[in-house]
Structure 1
Amino acid sequence: MTYFMSVILGFVQGVAEFLPISSSGHLTLFQHFFGMPEPDQLFNVLLHFATLLAVCVVYWRDIWEMIVEFFCFIGDLFSHRSYRGNPPEARRMVLLIIVGTLPLFLVLPIKDRVEAFGTNPFFVCGALLVTGCILFLSDQMGSGRKTARNATLLDVLLVGAAQGVATIPGLSRSGCTISAGMVRGFDRRFAVRYSFLMSLPAVLGATLLEVLDVMELEGGVPPENIPKYLVGMIVAAVVGYFSIQLVKLLASRGRFGAFAFYCWGAGALFILLTVMGWTFVPVAA
């Protein structure tokens, strides 16, 4: 893997992870049509971890408040204190994120089979077309009024189920979860905030498991790859930060339709290129 490839994949990850256009789908298609050798799994996970850091920077205040409320809740349990009245929004947000993450455990037994679909460009392109339809339909809906204070457990379970379905390569995780939130009547800004905060446990867990596997099976990270990993992570984190800000702006204005047209166009273009058997000049490894 070259530094150039590291920068390109970092940029694609930073853009596509948060814009509702599927990061996994774009990485797969870039590798296929530009002849890029597939990066090792650890690098893929580190790119996702870098975009997780971008979420932490954007929503640091929410995250800090949730951490504080989580430990306050644990303290209340041990002291046998009951909270009178409505709990703080941050404490309720912790519960909503935990419940919304549960459907991912149903995907774990079939994770490898689902990821295998990513090797088929036709399948990935078809999933991009479906993503476009999801975004277009969600754009037609008005903004709801539900926030962390009145969203129900059923609401977040369904949003979590959308996150589980979005593990299919070519489906956008952010697009599916934000759209599902809008269907359940979430305020547009809350739908975006919940979608990104809900990604934190899943990405962090996947990162830790992958790093442990690498340490156990390969005895560590090859030292010569560390600088390339860091370059890709920095690019993914910086680009991801600005991508989150763009999604927040467009979602609040109900402008997801622009991404729908992009997904349709990209899916149709890559299907045509696949039928023609067209690949670009390979990038040197």
Structure 2
Amino acid sequence: MIILSLLMSMFMGFVQGVAEFLPISSSGHLTLLQHFFEMKEVDNLFNILLHFATLLAVCVVYWKDIVEMVVEFFRGFASLFSGHGSRESRPPTARRLVLMVIVGTLPLFVVLPLEGVVEQLGNYPAAVSVMLILTGFILFFSDRMGGGRKNARTATVKDALLVGIAQGVATIPGISRSGSTISAGMLLGFDRKFAVRYSFLLSLPAVLGATLLKVVKAVGEGVDTSLLPNYLAGMVVAGVVGYFSIQLVRLLASKGKFGNFAYYCWIVGVVSLVAGFIVL
């Protein structure tokens, strides 16, 4: 376990804020760092708190969408039980987004039993390197072949399910979650801005669910209260950097330059793959 100094906490927060949202696979980078630089994992609670900080960054950027979705979630239930829901020819956009997020989250329940197998893949840097190269191809082609006019009004349940499957596949270390889901959306004909928006909204239940499950276990193992200031510093950096990372992804996607991240993934993937053979 790393001696969690204030500087190290802030550095880890920066890495989390960048890698969580840019389509470069945070899990893949962590695996390669641990392998080539003998970088050990920080304590489990700090890792969970960093993910929670980036979750808050998504909430800040999309707070209007989230508020509207929560309101429409309860309105939808109310109309369903009152009998008014069946007479609504076209539900509000926020309510359709709620349905899309629910449907898109379902594939993760299929992946859940395979969590141990998927995590084991992180022990093989060569496999992670290949997955990074694959992520590069996904980004490259989606940016050139994708991008349409579908939005929250016109996207279908099938579209949401397919993007959700992409999110499930992205649990493999080296496959970027944001890269896969945004690319899947664009290839399905989503408007570029909506593809980014749906991708980050779709991440909320997945990250929140994983955080709640892990935090109970981590707290049960005990909390070193002397590290709380360092935890807080890391969270602040992760949240702030995460906020600007989201804005960067939104900007590049809207300008059709999302695929530029492909070159970075290819370079890191090829270099780490070659380095792995040299080390062996």
Q: Offset at 1:142? A: 4.4
Q: Indicate if the aligned counterparts of 1:20 and 1:173 stay in contact, CA closer than 8 A.
A: yes
The residue identity in structure 2 corresponding to 1:12 is V
User: Runs of 4+ in structure 1 displaced over 6 angstroms?
Assistant: none
Map 1:132-151 to 2 at 5 A: 132-151=136-155
- Rounded to whole Å, the distance in 1 between the matches of 2:84 and 2:92 is 15
**Residue 207 of structure 1: how far off its partner (Å):** 0.5
Segments of structure 1 that go 5 or more residues without pairing to the other structure are 279-285
Cross-structure match for 1:46:
49
Paired letter, 1:49: F
Q: Aligned partners of 2:50, 2:88: CA distance in 1, in Å?
A: 43
Structure 2 Cα separation of the partners of residues 160 and 254 of structure 1: 23
Alpha-carbon RMSD: 1.5
Identity among equivalent positions (%) equals 65
Partners of 2:146 and 2:271 in 1: CA distance: 31
Render the CA deviation track for 1:107-147: whole Å, top value 9, x for unaligned: 10010110111122111111110100100111112421111
CA offset at residue 187 of structure 1? 0.6
Question: Which residue identity does 1:199 align to in structure 2?
Answer: S
Which among 102, 109, 115 is matched to residue 119 of structure 2? 115
- Give distance in 1, aligned partners of 2:33 and 2:9: 13
1:42, distance to aligned residue in structure 2 (A): 2.6
Which structure 2 residues correspond to residues 1-285 of structure 1 after superposition, within 5 A?
1-2=3-4, 3-82=6-85, 83-216=87-220, 218=221, 220-277=222-279
Q: Which SS does the other structure have where 2:171 is aligned?
A: coil
Tell me, in whole angstroms, the C-alpha distance in 1 between the residues paired with 2:78 and 2:136: 46
The 8 Å contact of residues 177 and 195 in structure 1, kept in 2 or not, is answered as yes
In 2, distance between residues paired with 1:228 and 1:277?
35
- What's the CA shift for 1:161? 0.3
Q: Secondary structure of the residue that 1:140 maps to in structure 2?
A: helix
Shift of 1:76: 1.6
CA distance in 1, matches of 2:77, 2:224: 41
**For structure 1, which segment, 6-15 or 85-94, has the greater mean C-alpha deviation from structure 2 after superposition?**
6-15
- Distance in 2, matches of 1:18 and 1:107, equals 21
Return the letter of the residue paired with 2:97: M
* More deviation, 23-32/199-208: 23-32
Q: Give the corresponding residue for 1:282.
A: none
- 8 Å contact kept, 2:45–2:219: no
> Cα offset for 1:253?
1.2
- Opposite residue 79 of structure 1, the aligned amino acid is S
TM-score norm. by structure 1 comes to 0.92
Given that residues 12 and 26 in structure 1 are in contact (C-alpha distance below 8 angstroms), is that contact kept between their aligned partners in structure 2?
no
Task: State TM-score, norm by structure 2.
Answer: 0.94
SS in 1 for 2:194: helix
Q: Number of paired residues?
A: 276
Q: CA deviation at 1:186?
A: 0.6
| Separation in 2, partners of 1:222, 1:19 | 31
Deviation string for 1:236-258 (max 9, x for gaps)?
A: 11111000000001111111221
Letter in 2 for 1:123: A
